[in-house]
Amino acid sequence: MSRKQQVPRPGPALGTDDTGCPILHVDMDAFYASVELRERPELRGVPVIIGDPGARGVVLSATYEARRFGVHSAMPMTRARRLCPRAVVIPPSRHKYAEVSRGVMEIFRSITPDVEPIASDEAFLDVGGARKRLGRPAVIAAAIRERVVREHGITCSVGVAGSKFVAKLASQHCKPDGLLVVPADEVVSFLHPLPVAALWGVGERTEHSLVRLGIKTVGDLAHTPVDALRRELGQAAGTHLAELAWGRDPRPVRADVPDKSIGAEETFATDVGDPVEIRRELLRLSERVAARLREGGHVGRTVSVKLRRADFSTITRSRTLREPTDVARDLYTVACELYTASGLGRTPLRLVGVRVENLRPAAETPRQLGLGEREKGWREAERAMDRAARRFGRDVVLPASLVRPPFDEIDL
């Protein structure tokens, strides 16, 4: 199906009265998979999984056809392929997903400045201030869905409600490719039949504790005395869940919530104990993290590495720099020093990661040149690499040590 042929379906609606419902939660449908299917329309209707096809890979995204077999994000690829052996597995193309994500967020911000991204493929919007210009929230939601299809060739689901919590549940409820309005006077009737696990903050352990009390639905929890919930779950958690069970969520949409950290990690296809290979991967990860820092306009002071052994035991080490940075060379230098200081030597590793914390806006952070440092250097070189990557793809310019020969050398 071409982009022009793909049209959003109306989607189910609990009601049409969106008075007092200025909050939208917009969530792309099977985001990574949908982006790939734009270029492979012959795979529409086929189970498709996005992820590293190797034995150590995990599922990053799956079409709804694959999900019917029980495949879901973060599942080990080996299990996913057992559940759905006929699925087509596509390695991820992160630069494509980042490009589409930027475009989708630009659509949101063209409608309202009150946009709170919570992932690359979803965001909250407060459209209360856009009503006079663009119409009712449900009309704005429908326009967003149409623009996402028209401009990017993928679909999204939108929940419209009076609070962030209910809007997010609504978007989940109408997936895929739907629009659901939860009117203010129907919030309780929408929430109470849902399983208690639908509430934010109810993980597996909390759900087990609630079921032990006979609480299986949101309605059960809503009619449980708050004191009993506080005794079982603690003061804060008990109060929080009691409020959510009645749809009370006063949190506003916070535009441009700053990232707390930026990182990347890689699971090896087989355990790696060669320090040269591990440092090569640390360089690759440092390049990815630095590019994301610059893309977001951040610099950071604290660099950490994550080193996971074959037995899944994990070591983390970190160091805080004197000056914040967004330069891959700086990150790589510290990452290698932290790896050496870990004392792992040639211990086989299953996974390595690099993360930068203690972020701040780059524009508000003056840069001081070190003694003898040239005014233009690695930072400018890496920004030139960013420009080339945006135009030609992320792998068009790489450090020499990351360029592998196209074939093994042979003796003639």
How do residues 326-354 score in pLDDT, each as one tens digit? 999 999 999 999 999 999 999 999 889 99
Domain shared by 349 and 237, yes or no: no
Domain shared by 273 and 377, yes or no: yes
Measured distance CA(403)–CA(264) in Å, rounded: 19
Q: Are 134 and 143 in contact (CB under 8 A)?
A: yes
pLDDT tens for each residue of 164-201? 999 999 999 999 999 999 999 999 999 999 999 999 88
Measured distance CA(279)–CA(342) in Å, rounded: 13
Which of 57-66's residues contact partners 24+ apart within 8 Å by CB, and which partners? 57/267, 58/267, 60/32, 60/92, 61/30, 61/31, 61/32, 61/33, 62/30, 62/33, 62/87, 63/30, 63/33, 63/34, 63/37, 64/29, 64/30, 64/176
Range of the structural domain that residue 140 is part of: 1-94+129-160+171-180
Domain shared by 268 and 387, yes or no: yes
Point out the annotated binding site: 27, 121
* CATH code of 139's domain: 3.40.1170.60
Domain shared by 5 and 151, yes or no: yes
The verdict on residue 202 lying in a domain is: yes
Tell the residue number behind the tokens 């009117």, with chain if given. 183
Domain shared by 229 and 265, yes or no: no
Residue 149's pLDDT band, with cuts at 50, 70 and 90, is very high
Which structure tokens are listed for 395? 């792998």
* CATH code of 355's domain: 3.30.1490.100
3-state secondary structure of 268: strand
Q: Check residues 156 and 132 and name the one with the higher pLDDT.
A: 156
Q: Are 116 and 167 in contact (CB under 8 A)?
A: no
Domain shared by 154 and 73, yes or no: yes
Catalytic (active site) residue 122: yes
> What is the structure's pLDDT at 411?
33
Helices of type H across 56-175:
64-67, 77-83, 94-111, 131-134, 137-152, 164-173
| Amino acid type, 216 | K
Point out the annotated binding site for Mg(2+): 27, 121
**What is this structure's pTM?**
0.68
The verdict on residue 368 lying in a domain is: yes
Which structure tokens are listed for 152? 């990017």
Number of domain units in the chain: 3
DSSP 92: -
Residue 4 reports pLDDT greater than 50: no
The verdict on residue 13 lying in a domain is: yes
Domain shared by 202 and 266, yes or no: no
Domain shared by 6 and 151, yes or no: yes
Domain shared by 147 and 4, yes or no: yes
- Find the catalytic residue in 36, 116, 122, 287: 122
Helices of type H across 153-234:
164-173, 187-191, 204-212, 218-222, 226-233
